[in-house]
């Protein structure tokens, strides 16, 4: 029972580098989302998707891109990393029927130097 799988768990980037955080879920959930968690600020929504081919911006989308080509995968791309993007990133998924309980991945701790 994999649930939501995020990779990598840790990453150090230099300013200006790009990278992709991977997120995959095996629960056939329509809704997937990315959050960043910073001390004292809780979880802030970066981008979300309600199905393949559909994405939308959350609260803090600048500097990040997403795509949703399949139901299972929802990668988050950092185009040109900045120190302000140092954070812990969580991917979550949920169904859109019934009570949409969110299931979270283990998180990616990203440091930009």
Partner 1 sequence: AQSVSQHNHHVILSEAASLELGCNYSYGGTVNLFWYVQYPGQHLQLLLKYFSGDPLVKGIKGFEAEFIKSKFSFNLRKPSVQWSDTAEYFCAVNFATSGTYKYIFGTGTRLKVLA
Name the residue nearer to partner 1 (CB basis): 12 or 54.
54
Interface with partner 1 (CB under 8 A), residue total: 24
Stretch that binds partner 1, among 14-22, 41-49, 62-70, 75-83 (CB under 8 A): 41-49
What minimum distance in Å lies between the beta carbon of 112 and partner 1? 21
Candidates 17-25, 68-76, 79-87, 101-109: pick the segment binding partner 1 (CB under 8 A). 101-109
Closest CA to 92 of 11, 2, 5: 5
Binding site for partner 1 (CB under 8 A): 31, 33, 35, 40-45, 48, 50, 58, 90, 92, 94, 96, 99-102, 104-107
């Amino acid at each position: 029972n994999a649930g939501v799988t995020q990779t990598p768990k840790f990453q150090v980037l230099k300013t200006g580098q790009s990278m992709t955080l991977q997120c995959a879920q095996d629960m056939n959930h329509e809704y997937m989302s990315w959050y960043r968690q910073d001390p004292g600020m809780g979880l802030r929504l970066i981008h979300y998707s309600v199905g393949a081919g559909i994405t939308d911006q959350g609260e803090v989308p600048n500097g990040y891109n997403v795509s949703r080509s399949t139901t299972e995968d929802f990668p988050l791309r950092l185009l040109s990393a900045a120190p302000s993007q140092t954070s812990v990133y969580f991917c979550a998924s949920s169904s859109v029927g019934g009570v949409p309980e969110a299931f979270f991945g283990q998180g990616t701790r990203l440091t930009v130097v």
